[in-house]
Amino acid sequence: MANSPETGLVKDESVLVTEAKAGSYEAFEELVNRYEKKIYRLGLNLTGNAEDAEDMLQETFLKAFEHLPNFREDSRFYTWIVRIAINQGLMKLRKRRSSKEVQIEDASNDDGEVIPRDFADWRPNPEQEMERTELENILQTAARSLPMTFRTVFFLRDVEGLSTEETAEMLNLSEGAVKARLFRARLRLREELSKILKRG
Amino acid sequence: MNCKDAVQQITGYLDGNMDDELKRMLEVHLKCCHHCQVVFDTTKKTVELYCDGKLFPLPGSVRSRLHDALRAKWEASSR
């Protein structure tokens, strides 16, 4: 972390952006340090494999470096980075569109009712009981079962913490569509995980 | 409130964005409906699992390649 020598406080993001724009590589690197883990995780969750996630991570920050002078700072830096990452991720997935596992759009499920079917309690703390990689595989498999639009909305809203408005703007959707997809994504993921994480 | 209406409220409930009267009615329903209680609890757990910062760590080798690529790009641009 780049701390201010006088105060020991973590530098404000906007200060780092200003310094990076003025040519400070250290400032840019600090921005990368702050968000690289999140962008990598987003890549894994969106693309479903480590190789694509690494490509997405590199391309995102290389593009950010290249286009930093054009960043107008009318959004948070993180939101700007996520937008670049999403574009890179969707491009990757479109290239693999013929693959059966990739559902970019699934309008047929867009308006369908989501009815919970599994009412079994889950084991209490799967994150403590299971091996990390085992749980990661379960989460990734469940995420891959969602149509891409649902998956993207879920990860932007619930995991990356973007607002409904930011998510809608980023994905060219209405706020109502974001809310509807988030609702369905949450319940469908729950249903998928329930098959594996329920007791006994 | 019936089960179908309760499930429709799950987003507002998880996001802490419900009016007080609706929330009260929902909580009354959840107290007496085990199925809905499970659906709400496990949906909340679903979100928590995906947000768990210990999962999906960035491997050191991936991080090194990223920083090498960025450093190379910066050096090329400052020549």
* HEC-encoded secondary structure of B38-64: HHHHHHHHHHHHHHCCCCCCCCHHHHH
Query: What sign does the dihedral A157-A161-A163-A167 (CA atoms) show?
Result: negative
Count of Cβ atoms closer than 10 Å to residue A96 Cβ: 14
Taking the C-alpha atoms of residue A152 and residue A158, their distance in angstroms, rounded to an integer, is: 10
Report which of A131, A133, A151 is spatially closest to residue A142, judged by C-alpha positions: A151
pLDDT given for residue A71 in this prediction: 94
A183: nearest CB among B10, B54, B55 = B10
On whether any CB of chain B is under 8 Å from the CB of A56, the answer is: no
Please list the rounded mean pLDDT of every run of 10 residues in chain A (200 residues): 53 92 94 96 91 95 96 91 92 70 46 78 88 94 91 95 93 94 95 91
d(CA A80, CA B32): 45
Q: Return the H-helix or E-strand segment holding A86.
A: helix A77-95
* Tens digits of residue pLDDT in B6-49: 999 998 999 888 999 999 999 999 999 999 999 999 999 999 99
Provide the chain A residues 81-100 that lie in CB contact (below 8 A) with chain B: none
Asked if A159 lies within 8 A of B51 by C-beta distance, the reply is yes
Cα Rg for chain A, rounded, in angstroms? Answer: 19
Query: According to the model, what pLDDT value does residue A75 have?
Result: 87
Contacts of B29 in chain A (CB under 8 A): none
Residue A4: the pLDDT is: 47
Whether A190 and B57 lie within 8 Å, measured CB to CB:
no
Please classify residue A122 by burial: count the beta carbons closer than 10 Å to its beta carbon, then call 0-12 exposed, 13-18 middle and 19+ buried. buried
Q: CB–CB of B49/A127 below 8 Å?
A: yes
Whole-model pTM? 0.88
End-to-end CA distance of chain B: 68
* Those residues with Cβ within 8 angstroms of residue A162's Cβ, 6 or more apart along the chain or in another chain: A79, A82, A156, A170
Which of B10, B55, B68, B74 has the most A C-beta neighbours within 10 Å, making it the best mutation to test the interface with A? B55
**What pLDDT, on a 0 to 100 scale, did the predictor assign at position A8?**
53
